[in-house]
Chain A
Amino acid sequence: MKRFECLQAIAPLIKNELFITTAGGATAEWNAVHPSDGNIQVKTLGLCSSIGLGLALALPKRKVFVFDGDGALWMNLGTLATIGLHHPKNLIHLCWDNQQYESSGGEPTVATAGKIDFAGVASNAGVKSSRSASTVDELKQAVSHGLSHDGPHFIWARIEAGRAEAPPLQYDELENKYHFIRYVEETEGINILRVPMPASYLLK
């Protein structure tokens, strides 16, 4: 299955869920299929799942998606243990595994040799619901299950390499962040950027 057809299949299931997407092709394709201020693109390889964990813990009633990649997940494999430990019910961690560092030129990752079972790693690290998907229908079912059940969820999406034509994100990271935070403020009814006056104003 191709990533783009998977993204097209799951987009109709999405309402106002938040998306933390890894540096790479998944971001441009997802923003083409589902443009939203609730999408933010991560610049640090491997860190999207940690950011998603922090967001999920901060907003426990909101479903948070992480779009990871096989190279990115390899860089921060310990994240699965940390997610298993803290067990956010609202986190859906989806790894698009194309068995290569596609954005870096197609070099092999840990997944290329076909030995690692990411879903097995997640499950054995204590992630409550862990599935693998090799067809668009399986993936759609896994995402539906994630949306309607408590997690944390891990979904191992085993895709073909290759990118669809999609324009890169039109925001730089600061604009992306402000849009994202304003979207969270609006949809959660909370105030994030206008912080209360800190205690130091009262100190001499």
Chain B
Amino acid sequence: MGTVAGAQQILAGLKEAGIDLVSSVPDINVLQLINLLYEDKQIMHVPVGREEEGVGVCAGAHLGGKKPALLMQNGGLLNSCNGLTTTALQFGMPILLLIYYAGDIGDNAFHMVGLVTEPVLQGLGIKYIVMRDPGKVKQDIAGAVTLANSSKRPVALLLTRAVL
């Protein structure tokens, strides 16, 4: 379920990078982060029922001047592929994708989802970082947001348990 300290560091990194709206679908490993988002006054939190809705919410939020992120599990990345392709990529929408990396080495669930996650991101042409170093969390978030804004594309951060 992650630690409060890990979630606090990620939330602080999002704020420093200018993220002001997070759409989300929960995973047990980002429970602490979701809990913080529900309480936070600075970042608008928009829970959705299915991850592709979140791609739409983030795209619309960008059109209205927000700096959006979509928090989900990698199964949700698979649910979102058409929206990412024909909305986020085709229109050039800067969206930060915060993806819990289920099925990663050391994770005992969803191994097939873990297996296809990086090839799917590569196939979509979405740059990503696998976050394994708690000491680089803020730097990774800032770097991903910088690239999303300059390339006007989604950029992904794969959150492993080491940083949560």
| Contact between chains at A58 and B53 (CB < 8 Å) | no
A86 CA / B44 CA spacing, docked (Å):
11
Size of interface on B: residues with Cβ below 8 Å to A:
42
Interface flag for A116 (CB, 8 Å): no
Report which of B17, B52, B65, B92 forms a contact with A47, defined as CB distance below 8 A. Answer: B52
A174 CA / B88 CA spacing, docked (Å):
11
Size of interface on A: residues with Cβ below 8 Å to B:
46
Report if A44-B86 is in contact (Cβ < 8 Å); known contacts: A173-B91, A198-B142: yes
| Contact between chains at A58 and B64 (CB < 8 Å) | yes
A48 CA / B50 CA spacing, docked (Å):
14
Interface flag for B35 (CB, 8 Å): no
A52 CA / B57 CA spacing, docked (Å):
7
| Contact between chains at B44 and A57 (CB < 8 Å) | yes
A86 CA / B23 CA spacing, docked (Å):
12
**A27-64 toward B: CB 8 Å interface, digit per residue (1/0)?**
00000000000001011101111111111111100100
A181 CA / B60 CA spacing, docked (Å):
11
Contacts of B90 in A (CB 8 A): 43, 173
Interface flag for A190 (CB, 8 Å): yes
Contacts of A82 in B (CB 8 A): 47-49, 53
A85 CA / B68 CA spacing, docked (Å):
19
**B52-71 toward A: CB 8 Å interface, digit per residue (1/0)?**
11111111111111111000
Report if A78-B50 is in contact (Cβ < 8 Å); known contacts: A47-B87, A196-B18, A200-B145: yes
A48 CA / B18 CA spacing, docked (Å):
26
Contacts of B44 in A (CB 8 A): 57
B→A interface (CB under 8 Å): 16-18, 21, 23, 44, 46-50, 52-68, 82-83, 86-87, 90-92, 138-139, 142-143, 145-146, 149
Those 10 A-B pairs whose CB atoms lie nearest each other, nearest first:
A50-B56, A54-B60, A58-B64, A200-B142, A55-B60, A54-B57, A51-B60, A54-B61, A47-B56, A78-B49
